[in-house]
């Protein structure tokens, strides 16, 4: 017989702000900033009852994670339809994992701490096709300073309809 329990708790806090600043030389600048913090913990417990051949076994895993994330972006509107922008994202991860069982009651602890930086450039064009239809074309070039991560190009098309 197998019995298992799982417990998960997560607390997330954050702040976000956005501001559009009209300008004379270009249409304006849209500034965006977000900070988010998450503290998460998980607990796994499983027990396999004795079946006549094998003794009873149990396994536990406790995981504690903290995440910090900062995202900053600026979009410069050349006119009401076309924007050119840049963004920066930073993420910090701290993870601690403890595993134990009746075979290893002293347990094993694994700790990981790492941070990541991402940069990007983007452009977007919004086109009002008719009174009820619009389209937005966008392209973003992702630039990474981490040797393990690859740069990328994202291309998007959004079509909206109002009835």
pLDDT in tens, 91-104: 999 999 888 887 77
Query: How is residue 48 written in tokens?
Result: 């396999």
Mean pLDDT of 16-36: 94
Poorest-confidence range of 87-91, 122-126, 137-141, 149-153? Answer: 149-153
Mean pLDDT of 73-90: 94
Strand, coil or helix: 97: strand
Query: Residue 79's domain spans which residues?
Result: 2-161
Domain count across the chain:
1
Among 89, 81, 79, smallest CA distance to 138 is for 81
Average confidence score pLDDT of the chain? 87
Q: What is the pTM of this model?
A: 0.72
Residues 74/30, Cβ–Cβ less than 8 Å? yes
Per-residue pLDDT band for 145 (boundaries 50, 70, 90) equals low
Residue 78 region, left (φ>0) first, then alpha (ψ -120 to 50), else beta?
A: alpha
pLDDT in tens, 128-142: 999 899 999 999 998
Q: Over 70: is that where the pLDDT of 111 sits?
A: yes
Q: Which residue has the higher pLDDT, 121 or 8?
A: 121
Report pLDDT for 7.
85
């Amino acid at each position: 017989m197998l019995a298992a329990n799982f417990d998960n708790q997560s607390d997330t806090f954050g702040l976000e702000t956005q501001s559009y600043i009209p300008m004379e030389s270009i249409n304006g600048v849209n500034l965006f900033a977000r900070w988010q913090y998450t503290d998460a913990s998980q607990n796994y417990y499983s027990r396999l009852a004795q079946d006549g051949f094998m003794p009873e076994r149990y396994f536990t895993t406790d995981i504690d994670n903290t995440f910090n994330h900062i995202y900053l972006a600026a979009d410069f509107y050349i006119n009401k339809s076309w924007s050119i922008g840049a963004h920066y994202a930073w993420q910090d991860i701290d993870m601690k994992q403890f595993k134990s069982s009746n075979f290893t009651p002293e347990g094993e602890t694994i700790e990981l701490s790492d941070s990541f930086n991402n940069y990007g450039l983007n452009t977007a064009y919004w086109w009002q096709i008719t009174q009820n239809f619009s389209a937005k074309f966008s392209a973003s070039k992702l630039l990474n300073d981490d040797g393990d991560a690859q740069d990328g190009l994202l291309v998007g098309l959004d079509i909206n309809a109002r009835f």
